[in-house]
Amino acid sequence: MSDVHTIAELHRLYRSKSASPVEVTKACLERIASQDRELRAFVLVTPERALDDARQAEADFVAGIDRGPMQGIPYCLKDIVETAGIRTTGQSRLLAKHVPASDATVAARLKAGGGILLGKNTTWEFAHGGPSWDVFAPPARNPWNLAHHPAGSSSGSAAAVAAGLAPATIGTDTGGSIRLPAAACGIAGLKPTYGRVSRKGVLPNCFSHDHAGPLAWTSQDCAMIMAVIAGHDPGDPGSSPAPVQDYQAALDGTCLGLTIGVPWSWLDQAGTTAPTRRAFEVALDVLRGIGATIVPVTLPTLEAYSDSKKTIAMSELFSIHERDLRTRPELFGASLRYRIQCGALIRAEDYVQAMRMRAELAAATQRVFATVDAIVTPTGEPAGKLEPQPHSWLFTQKSMTTPFNSAGNPAHSICMGFAGNGMPFALQIAARLFDDATALRIGDAYEKATPWRAKRPALEGVPADPVG
Amino acid sequence: MNDRLDVSRTEVAVLVKAAGLEPSQSQFDEIVEAYGYLRAMTARLQSGFGYGSEPAHVFVPERT
C-alpha cells in the first residue's frame, strides 16, 4: 500500500508540487472500487463530485490559492452527516431516498476548505442500532481481519481510513462511536469537547451527548481536520463560542511538563483483560519516556456515568423517533427498534434525575482534571468477531468512553499496538474542556515514539456473513 | 449488584399502551426483558438531591 498517504504527507507533497489532487483522488477511487465490495465501508461513492472537487483544488493550487490544511485532501462522511443533493440515509430504510437540501456545517466547512468528498460511510442505523443486517445496507468489516467487526457506530468511517481508502473522515460519538471504531481499526479518532464542532445537519442520536469529530491515520492528521471543522456555529444551539486552539502548533513531539492521571479502578470495573492491561502499562512507560508524569486518580464509577447517560440517551432517542416507531415500526432494524422502545418506558422523573446526576458527575470529573492535564485508559478491548449482538448488550456492556460524553471533555483514541491475533489495542486520552490540543499532542508524541503507524492492514480473505 | 429486576408483564403492557406502541408478541417479549434492565438502571440513579441541585439541561435564554 505504498501509495497511501496521510493528510500531513499530502499537504507537503501538494505544496512542493510533487503530487496532484486529481491523481490522488483517482487512486483513492480505484482502491475503493477494488476493496470496498469486501470491506463495505461505503454506502455511497461519489466519483463525479470527487473529481470535480479535485480539479477545483488543483486549479486553486495552480492559481496560488491555499484554503488550508484540507485543500486537496480526499475525505468521506459518516452517512448521518447531511450532504446537499447527495443521499443521506442514516443506514435506515426510513431514509432510503432522503436527499438533503443543504450541507451539514461540518460538510460545508470541509468543502469550503478545498476538501474532496469521496462518498458516505457505512454506519449503524441512525448511529445507534447495530451491527445490523436488516437495514439499508450490510455492516462494514474490519480491515485487520474481515471476519471481525470495526465497532460502531462510525464503523465504515474507521474501516475506510484504516484500509487506505481515504485519509480523512468525519464520524460522530455519543458514547464512544468515534473512539471505539478508531480503536478497533487501529487509527486515530477524536471526540472533541462538546460544542467544539457543529452538530448542525448531523442526524441526531442524543442531542445532549452527540459530538462530530475526525478520524484519520494519525493524531497530526486529526489536528489538521480540526483546524477546518472546529469553531462556533450559531446554527447549533450547543455550539461554543470559545476560541479555537491552534491544534497543529501544540504538537511538539513530547509530553514534557504534562501530568497524566490513570483511573485504575475503571480498568477493573470494565473487566479489562490481562493482555490489554499489559499493553496499557507498556504505553504508560512510553509516555513516561517522552516526559509525562503518571499519577493515579479517582473518578466516579463507570456504572454511574453509564446509568445517567443511558437514561438520558434512550429518552432523547425515543423523542426523535417516536412518530415513526408508532406509525411505521417495520422500517426500523431490530437493534435500533429495541433501543428506541426502551426510551418509551422511561419516566420524566428518571430523565430529570439522570440530568441532575450528570451535572454532579461532570463537576466531579472537572475537579479531577483540575489536578492533571489529561487522563488515559485503554479505549476498550481488541475487536471481536462480526456477529449479531444480544439486545441486552445495550445494558450490560461497560464503557470507559461514555464518561467523557457525560462530562463533555475531549477524548482521543490512538493505536496502542497489536494483540496476538493481530487486532489493534488502543489508548484513550482525555483532556480538559476545550483543551483538545493537549489530547492530540499526547497522541502525536506517543505515535512518534512507537512503531505502530508503519503497519497497515493486509486485507486478505473474505469471510461468509454470519447472517444470511 | 442486580443488572436486571423481575418485572410484571401486565405492568409493561400498561406502559406500552400508554406509549402508543403496538408491538408484535416477540417485540413485546423484548420490551419486557429490556424493562427489567431499565428498572434496575433507573433504581440506581442518584436521588435525594438538594433543592439547589439543578439538572444539566437548565434553560439558557441567550442561546435561543
Q: Report CB contact under 8 Å: A344, B15.
A: yes
Q: Is residue A44 part of a domain?
A: yes
Q: Is residue A460 part of a domain?
A: no
Can you give the residue range of the structural domain that contains A348?
Answer: 7-454
Q: Report CB contact under 8 Å: B35, A345.
A: yes
pLDDT by residue (tens digit) across A244-273? 999 999 999 999 999 999 999 999 999 999
A357 in B contact zone (CB under 8 Å): yes
Q: Is residue A459 part of a domain?
A: no
Q: Is residue A49 part of a domain?
A: yes
Q: pLDDT band at residue A460, thresholds of 50, 70 and 90?
A: low
Task: Please report the ipTM that was assigned to this predicted complex.
Answer: 0.93
CA distance, residue B21 to nearest chain A CA (Å): 6
pLDDT by residue (tens digit) across A319-375? 999 999 999 999 999 999 999 998 999 999 999 999 999 999 999 999 999 999 999
B26 in A contact zone (CB under 8 Å): no
DSSP labels for A440-459?
A: HHHHHHHHHHSSGGG-----
Cβ proximity of A381 and A398 under 8 Å: no
Q: Based on the structure, what is the number of domains in chain A?
A: 1
What span, in angstroms and rounded, lies between the C-alpha atoms of A310 and B38?
A: 9
pLDDT for A467 equals 63
> Is the predicted pLDDT of residue A148 greater than 70, yes or no?
yes
What span, in angstroms and rounded, lies between the C-alpha atoms of A394 and B34?
A: 9
Which residues on chain B are in Cβ contact (under 8 Å) with A346?
38, 42
User: How is residue A375 written as a grid cell?
Assistant: 487522563
Please state which of the ranges A41-45, A325-329, A399-403 shows the lowest mean pLDDT. Answer: A325-329
A326 in B contact zone (CB under 8 Å): yes
For residue B29, what is the nearest residue in chain A, using CA coordinates? Answer: A338
Which residues on chain A are in Cβ contact (under 8 Å) with B15?
344-345
**Stretch A308-313: mean pLDDT:** 96
Catalytic residue of the set A154, A157, A177, A335 = A177
> Is the predicted pLDDT of residue B1 greater than 60, yes or no?
no
Q: Is residue A144 part of a domain?
A: yes
**Stretch A138-147: mean pLDDT:** 97
Q: Is residue A1 part of a domain?
A: no
Catalytic residue of the set A92, A153, A198, A315 = A153
pLDDT for A1 equals 46
pLDDT for A80 equals 98
Q: Determine whether A154 is an active site residue.
A: no
Q: Is residue A463 part of a domain?
A: no
Tell me: cis bond preceding B23? Omega within 30 of 0 counts.
Answer: no
pLDDT for A129 equals 87
CA distance, residue B26 to nearest chain A CA (Å): 11
Cβ proximity of A212 and A172 under 8 Å: yes
The SS3 of residue A377 is strand
Q: Determine whether A335 is an active site residue.
A: no
When CB atoms are compared, the residue of A322, A358, A396 closest to B56 is: A358
> Is the predicted pLDDT of residue B57 greater than 90, yes or no?
no
When CB atoms are compared, the residue of B42, B47, B55 closest to A346 is: B42
When CB atoms are compared, the residue of A208, A303, A394 closest to B57 is: A208
- Residue A203's domain is classified under what CATH number? 3.90.1300.10
B34 contacts: CB under 8 Å, gap ≥ 6: A338, A341, A342, A345, A391, A392, A394, A395
B36 in A contact zone (CB under 8 Å): no
Q: Is residue A467 part of a domain?
A: no
Q: Determine whether A177 is an active site residue.
A: yes
A216 contacts: CB under 8 Å, gap ≥ 6: A6, A7, A161, A167, A168, A169, A187, A188, A189, A222, A224, A225
pLDDT for B48 equals 83
When CB atoms are compared, the residue of B1, B20, B41 closest to A311 is: B41
Q: Report CB contact under 8 Å: A326, B20.
A: yes
Residue located via cell numbers 507498556: A282
DSSP labels for B3-27?
A: S-----HHHHHHHHHHTT----HHH
pLDDT for A350 equals 95
pLDDT for A11 equals 98
